[in-house]
Structure 1
Amino acid sequence: MVLIPLIRDYIDRMLQDISGMKVLILDPQTVGMVSVVYSQSDLLRKEVFLVETVDDASSSRASMAHLKAVYFLRPSSDNVQKLRRHLSAPRFAECHLFFSNILKIPQIQVLADSDEQEVVQQIQEFYADFCAIDPFHFTLNIHNNHIYMLPTVVDPPGMQSFCDRAVDGIASVFLALKRRPVIRYQRTSDVAKRIAQETTRLMYEQESGLFDFRRTENSSLLLVIDRRDDPVTPLLNQWTYQAMVHELIGIENNKVDLKEFANVPKDQQEVVLSAVQDDFYRVNMFENFGDLGMNVKRMVDDFQHLSKSSQNFQSIDDMAKFVTNYPEYRKTHGNVTKHVALVSEMSRMVEERKLMQVSQTEQELACASGQAAAFEAVTSLLNNESVSDIDRLRLVMLYALRYEKESPVQLMQLFNKLASRSAKYKSGLVQFLLKQAGVDKRTGDLYGNRDLLNIARNMARGLKGVENVYTQHQPLIFQTMEGIVKGRLRDADYPLVGNHFQQGRPQDVVIFIVGGTTYEEARSVALYNAANPGVRFFLGGSVVLNSKRFLENLGEAQRISKSSTLL
């Protein structure tokens, strides 16, 4: 499970060596980092009887001298100042301080000066400054994610903090993996270059001793790329379980909020989707929607059989066995109810929004050529009253990205049609997308029509047929992984930082996408790893996107760009 046990091991080490009743104090970022890998019952087993945020702990005056405080915080200046106030008037008998990344010497001095009552027992750095949502997939949950679309030459407010957080998270991943990588970046992205250069400075200059793991320097690679090189993937509807839940409902740190859905039982209004805690989800998270439905039905049938047998008590021993197995029975019941609720709600949304029809056209826009047929299909869906505003917008965007150079007249007709059919459409948003991520801005061969090898591969896929018309799209990251493994990643497109160079095929590769990852890409990475032993790819990004989040980021960047132009 790779990334997940790394974080679990850090938390285990924090808690198991401190005996007695404990309170765990977190900040808003470390709450997510802990919650995706550690359950409430896991914490109770470690004698953690209370979990607070550092802000809640600041506002409380009640003494808790019977508890030992375990702080796990990001080493931000804000958190250090809050800790200073906690230590000046301590509520706990002992304080054990753990930080998720590198703590600066002046920060240590501030904490030491504040500990006048000598309650601090230890200060340690545990490099868990990222959210390990899947075995090979992590996110940094950066809130101002739209920043990456703004020109770095202007250095807009928030750009430095965005880059600093990206560098901190990337550094933490490599410290946890005990690797120091060779670093490359996407040439056409200023923000990717900036993050790559600042990460190199940290690893090879400022904290070079910390990254000296006495291993072959060329066994690992960091590649920093830009979301705008593949704007298609976050615009597509999804048809595999994990990606589909995020697209239609939303997943936040492995939690799914179902409060807005009328038919969901009260005890299932917030559910957890975790490959660690849920066997059915782990097996089915990458399955397509059709197979998923059959597997859910099979799970329901098995549970009904279990329910009938558990109620058929023939003896005292039967009753005793049922009582012994009751926690497992309740857990199974909860899982069945959860997955049935999720699949039912998604089925309803698919039917309501005519997503099968919409998605087929999306896939053709992403994977097939034929401008005239595409224009006709998109026009027909724009006129369909059942198609939602967001689906209309995404269809026009996908058409524009594919045919921006081939059909300017038809494209303008679609712009006008979209504006007349969708009241929520922001004028110029499609044009802003083309300005950000059009063909002249992209490095990779997004549609497989530039490079002879990619053209041949696409022809072979077409001749072989596609297993499922709704999942035929292959994200650009697949080409990137193949390019790395086969040594075809061009230095001109993805330069190395500094005087370092890659010798042979790297064993561990972290691909960091500035602007965010998608669950479709995470699936592609997991399947590639399973099929190609000898190299491990890890995928990380500033956030985990669905189409709604991607469009919100685009709209916010457009708004800021407009206002800065007017000034």
Structure 2
Amino acid sequence: MSDLMSEGITIVEDLYKNREPVPEMKAIYFMAPTAKCVDALINDFKLKPKYRAAYVFFTDYCPDDIFDKMKKNCGKHIKVCKEINISFLPLEAQVFTCDNPEAFKKIYTPNSRDKDQTLEMIADQIVTLCATLEEYPGVRYKKDSDLNYGKKLAELVDNKLARHYDLDDNSKKKGKTQAQLLIVDRAMDPVSPILHELTYQAMAYDLIPIKDNTYEYKLKDGSKKEALLNEEDQLWVKLRHMHIAEVTGQIPKLVKEISASRGEKKQTDEKISVGALSQLMKKMPGFRKQMAQKTVHLCLAEDLMSHYQTNVEKLCKAEQDLAIGADAEGQKVKDPMRTLLPVLLHPHDTTDKIRAVLLYIFSLNGGYFSFLVMQRFGNI
């Protein structure tokens, strides 16, 4: 928000909520090119205009019928109308999402009426990503998929890319770039989303109630604090894709490095605790921000390890045996039910038991049937 304010933007509001009119100010509308968004825009200028003027920026190509409706009803109030290619949500430097959690259900549920519409929407979003990166990639997909959704999406993306890059600004056709876009069908691997992942970020979001990327933790004095886990946290960026065993080894080393740089004499084999970090912070005012960041991740790592040792460790062993069909010594699991029963009899969380049951079904049947079962548990 501070970045927006530095550019002269004083308030950010939800398009769908009731807003107080500010007739002396201009409004920037950053929205998807949908009928719902355009109707909200039209309502703002229908009777008495809420703002002095509208500057409209669509996240994607605006269909002609929606554009014509907007032009007819509030065109005289619009000073700028542009389409920008950003119909996707970047989560990390190299990770994005289409932000459509219902897509799995809509595409794979039998007799769904939204399959084609959902595939079209995802294809449009992928094209805007490619356009943002200035890439015209070759599109590849897994050919032997039973359901052919990968093929359908690949064809849609390829056709939409061709239309988008038909002519560039210099009136010359843009050729294919060296990039390759791989479209993979979830039916290819239904097992991975069910397993408990043991990398730092995946464990945090699986085991800890993190909402809006905010982690709440307690200090030794009982006080509660919140930390935002995002790209601004350099330690989070460095550790998030490491195995938890690596993380628990990395954090104390980083703390000791800072301690050593300030002349603090600590034994190298001493276990770093939250209390010790608190004392270090009092002695090193210039390093408080860095130390606070490391306190967050020490707390988070300890929290995750507590969950792991209490509950997840035994679950992971059973899950791996069911997923691979062999135990840690490489011996084949002859009776998967003997692996599943201890999980069901233990007072594990219901969701964890369902995950184990799914893995058991996959181990017995495999292939297409397993994926049909997974469709019924799309929200897990």
Shorter-chain TM-score above 0.5: yes
Alpha carbons of structure 1 residues 436 and 172: separation in structure 2 relative to 1, 3 Å:
farther
Alpha carbons of structure 1 residues 376 and 436: separation in structure 2 relative to 1, 3 Å:
closer
| Matched residue SS, 1:352 | helix
Quick check: 2:216–2:225 contact (8 Å CA) kept in 1? no
Residues 201-212 of structure 1 aligned to structure 2 (within 5 Å)? 201-205=159-163, 208-209=166-167
CA distance in 1, matches of 2:172, 2:129: 14
Letter in 2 for 1:54: L
1:391 equivalenced with 2:352 (yes/no): yes
Name the residue aligned to 1:381: 342
Name the residue aligned to 1:132: 90
Q: How far did 1:132 drift? A: 0.9
1:361 equivalenced with 2:318 (yes/no): yes
CA distance in 2, matches of 1:110, 1:257: 44
Name the residue aligned to 2:269: none
Query: Which 5+ residue runs of structure 2 have no aligned equivalent?
Result: 259-276
1:100 equivalenced with 2:36 (yes/no): no
Letter in 2 for 1:239: L
1:220 equivalenced with 2:154 (yes/no): no
Name the residue aligned to 2:16: 55
Name the residue aligned to 1:309: 283
The normalised TM-score by structure 1 is 0.54
| Matched residue SS, 2:193 | helix
Residues 198-347 of structure 1 aligned to structure 2 (within 5 Å)? 198-205=156-163, 208-209=166-167, 215-217=174-176, 219-249=178-208, 255-256=213-214, 258=216, 266-268=224-226, 271-274=227-230, 276-298=231-253, 302=258, 304=278, 307-310=281-284, 329=288, 331-332=289-290, 335-347=293-305
Name the residue aligned to 1:149: 108
Letter in 1 for 2:2: S
Alpha carbons of structure 1 residues 101 and 115: separation in structure 2 relative to 1, 3 Å:
same
Alpha carbons of structure 1 residues 127 and 351: separation in structure 2 relative to 1, 3 Å:
same
Name the residue aligned to 1:454: none
Quick check: 2:199–2:244 contact (8 Å CA) kept in 1? yes
Alpha carbons of structure 1 residues 64 and 332: separation in structure 2 relative to 1, 3 Å:
farther
1:122 equivalenced with 2:80 (yes/no): yes
Quick check: 1:180–1:213 contact (8 Å CA) kept in 2? no
User: In proportion to residue count, which structure has more helix?
Assistant: 1
Q: How far did 1:337 drift? A: 4.6
1:181 equivalenced with 2:137 (yes/no): yes
| Matched residue SS, 2:26 | strand
Letter in 2 for 1:395: A
CA distance in 1, matches of 2:49, 2:91: 34
Letter in 1 for 2:109: L
Alpha carbons of structure 1 residues 162 and 231: separation in structure 2 relative to 1, 3 Å:
same
Letter in 2 for 1:372: V
Letter in 2 for 1:169: Q
Q: How far did 1:137 drift? A: 1.5
Alpha carbons of structure 1 residues 396 and 210: separation in structure 2 relative to 1, 3 Å:
farther
Name the residue aligned to 1:437: 371
Q: Give deviations 1:495-520, integer Å, cap 9, x for gaps.
A: xxxxxxxxxxxxxxxxxxxxxxxxxx
1:90 equivalenced with 2:46 (yes/no): no
Equivalent of residue 554 in structure 1, options 355, 361, 376? 376
Q: Give deviations 1:382-418, integer Å, cap 9, x for gaps.
A: 365244433333234324323437xxxxxxxxxxxxx
| Matched residue SS, 1:98 | strand
Q: How far did 1:237 drift? A: 0.7
Letter in 1 for 2:250: N
| Matched residue SS, 1:219 | coil
CA distance in 2, matches of 1:66, 1:333: 46
Name the residue aligned to 1:69: 27
CA distance in 1, matches of 2:43, 2:295: 45
CA distance in 2, matches of 1:221, 1:340: 39
Quick check: 1:371–1:403 contact (8 Å CA) kept in 2? no
RMSD of Structure 2 on Structure 1 (CA): 3.5
Letter in 2 for 1:555: F
Quick check: 1:374–1:399 contact (8 Å CA) kept in 2? no
How many equivalent pairs are there? 350
| Matched residue SS, 2:139 | strand
Alpha carbons of structure 1 residues 396 and 292: separation in structure 2 relative to 1, 3 Å:
same
CA distance in 2, matches of 1:306, 1:213: 62
Q: How far did 1:234 drift? A: 0.5
Residues 408-427 of structure 1 aligned to structure 2 (within 5 Å)? none
CA distance in 2, matches of 1:389, 1:437: 21
Q: How far did 1:79 drift? A: 0.9
Q: How far did 1:281 drift? A: 0.6
Letter in 1 for 2:50: R
CA distance in 2, matches of 1:91, 1:245: 43
Q: Give deviations 1:319-354, integer Å, cap 9, x for gaps.
A: xxx6xxxxx84x54653453244333323322332x
Alpha carbons of structure 1 residues 174 and 297: separation in structure 2 relative to 1, 3 Å:
same
| Matched residue SS, 1:54 | coil
Where relative contact order (Cα < 8 A, 6+ residues apart) is larger, the structure is: 1
Q: Give deviations 1:269-310, integer Å, cap 9, x for gaps.
A: xx4322x20111111111221221233344566454752334
Alpha carbons of structure 1 residues 147 and 63: separation in structure 2 relative to 1, 3 Å:
closer
Equivalent of residue 168 in structure 1, options 124, 130, 142? 124
